[in-house]
Amino acid sequence: MRRQIKTDKGLQARMFLTMFLLAALYLFFALVLWQAGVGYTGMAVVIGGMLLAQYYFSDRMVLWSMGAREVGPAEAPELHALVERLAILADVPKPRVAIVRTPVPNAFATGRSPAHAVVAVTTGLLERLDPPEVEAVLAHELSHIRHRDVAVMTLASFFATVASFLVQHFYYWGWGYGDREGREGRGAAAVVYLVSLVVWIISYFLINALSRYREFAADRGSALLTGAPGQLASALVKISGVMQRIPTRDLRQAEALNAFFIVPALRGESLMELFSTHPSLERRLEYLRRLEREMEGR
Amino acid sequence: MGLWDVLLGRSRVPSARTEPLFTLSTARLTLEAMSGWIPAGRAGLVLRPAEDSAFAAAAQEARDLVGLASQELGSRVQVEGDEYGYTWFVFHDRDWEDLVALTHMAGQTLVEQGYGDRLLAAVFRLEQRETTTPVLYLIFNYKRGSFYPFIPVDHKGKERDTAGEMRLFALLEKELPLEKDLSRWYPLWNNPV
Whether the upstream peptide bond of residue B134 has omega within 30° of 0, thus cis, is yes
| Four-point Cα dihedral A5, A10, A12, A18, nearest 10 | -150
Does A183 or A161 have the greater pLDDT score?
Answer: A161
φ/ψ of residue A294, rounded to 5: -60, -40
Q: How confident is the model at residue A187 (pLDDT cuts 50, 70, 90)?
A: confident
Question: Checking DSSP bridges between strand B87-92 and strand B119-128, what pairing results, if any?
Answer: unpaired
Q: Report whether pLDDT(A157) > 60.
A: yes
Residues of chain B with C-beta less than 8 angstroms from the C-beta of A229: 166-167, 170
Question: A interface toward B at CB cutoff 8 Å?
Answer: 130, 132-133, 228-231, 233-235, 237-238, 242, 245-256, 259-262, 265, 285, 288-293, 296, 298
What would the mean pLDDT of A268-290 be, rounded to a whole number? 79
- What is the reported pTM? 0.80
Q: How confident is the model at residue A259 (pLDDT cuts 50, 70, 90)?
A: very low
Q: Which residues of A are catalytic?
A: 141
CA distance A268 to chain B (A): 11
pLDDT (0 to 100) of residue A269: 47
Task: Determine which of A133, A137, A242, A252 to mutate to test the interface with B (most B C-beta atoms within 10 Å).
Answer: A252
Q: How confident is the model at residue B83 (pLDDT cuts 50, 70, 90)?
A: confident
Residues of chain B with C-beta less than 8 angstroms from the C-beta of A259: 11, 13
pLDDT (0 to 100) of residue B183: 83
B14·A261 Cβ contact <8 A: yes
Lowest mean pLDDT among A96-100, A129-133, B102-106, B128-132: B128-132
B189·A250 Cβ contact <8 A: yes
Distance CA A289, CA B182 (A): 14
